[in-house]
Amino acid sequence: MKHATIIFLVLFVAARVHAQELFIQTEPASNMPAGFWGVRVSSESWEGDHTISRIGIEGMYGFDKSLMLHPIIFGSNQLNGFGVETYGLYAKYRLYNDDGFKYHFRVAAFGEALAGEQHSTYPTFSFNGSGPFATGGLIATLLENRFATSLSAGAAGALKDIPLSNGSYSNIKGINTILSTGYLVYPPRYTSFSDANINIYAEFLDYQSWYDHVTNGASLPKQGNEFLLSFGPQVILNSIARFDVAYVALLYSSLPERRPNTVFARFEYNFY
């Protein structure tokens, strides 16, 4: 109930107040122009037995005004030195578009599939790239004046079990919901496309998971969820280069292990 109240309040504010709609933890419903491409490098780091970092390299290409594809590869030093973990493809297709003066509302469908090694230790999908999985869902993005908000929701399933010292997490499925809000704080007024943009973001991530905990040959159905808060700034230069930094904090978890708080950073460059 508390989570639903927070989401309702953020949506209420968003409906009344246009910033950049380039969110940190999720994709917007918009696509890059047809025939253009870009590249991203991202890192998520946290403290465990040692400092762990997961690196992602992602290409982006606009096939037409509706379809966009992202080849992705992830690697980390979580197990036995740094190595490649997962690789795959993200696709997004715009379904609806309503544009106005300093306003637009868009809806898109997305899908993503990653193959590779299972390095996750959590029966959830809060660490993107840590294990092979497939997911798909919908994104709705509203941009008005200096405020942007987006709601992403989708279903996901792990393609491999997570091995444990005394069993495994098997048949992992989930529903992922991300509510993203952003506000353009600079410039106060645009003079050209080369103006630097500074945006601030607060994003709420909810991961519901269903899985079987297998021990000593017995399988016990389990359910749990994580609720996370991500917040941080974003800087855009010359409308082509983008820098993101965010702190991702775990607010609540009913899973068997507590997800660590992380620091997320990303650099993106678009070749327009």
For residues 108 and 93, the answer to whether their CB atoms sit within 8 Å is yes
Give the list of residues 6+ apart from residue 140 with CB closer than 8 angstroms, or none: 29, 105, 106, 107, 150, 151
Which CATH superfamily includes the segment(s) 2-271?
monomeric porin ompg (2.40.160.40)
Mean pLDDT for the stretch of residues 223-245? 96
Residue 6 confidence class, pLDDT cut points 50, 70, 90: very low
Q: Say yes or no to pLDDT of 189 above 90.
A: no
Distance from the first to the final alpha carbon of the chain: 45
Q: Say yes or no to pLDDT of 104 above 60.
A: yes
- Tell me, what's the pLDDT at 192? 74
The closest of 214, 204, 216, 205 to 174, measured between CA atoms, is 205
CA 82, 60, 40, 17 torsion: positive or negative?
negative
pLDDT in tens, 15-51: 333 345 789 999 999 998 899 999 999 999 999 778 9
Q: Say yes or no to pLDDT of 130 above 50.
A: yes
pLDDT in tens, 43-95: 999 997 789 999 999 999 999 989 999 999 999 998 878 999 999 999 999 99
* Cis ω before 123 (30° cut-off from 0): no
Q: How do the domains of the chain map onto residue ranges?
A: 2-271
The closest of 197, 205, 192 to 249, measured between CA atoms, is 205
Q: Which of 8-17, 54-63, 97-106 has the lowest mean pLDDT?
A: 8-17
Does pTM top 0.85 for this prediction?
A: yes
- Tell me, what's the pLDDT at 20? 58
89 class by beta-carbon count within 10 Å (0-12 exposed, 13-18 middle, 19+ buried): middle
**Bridge partners for 52 per DSSP:** 46
The residue type of 55 is I
Check residue 28 and report its DSSP letter.
Answer: -
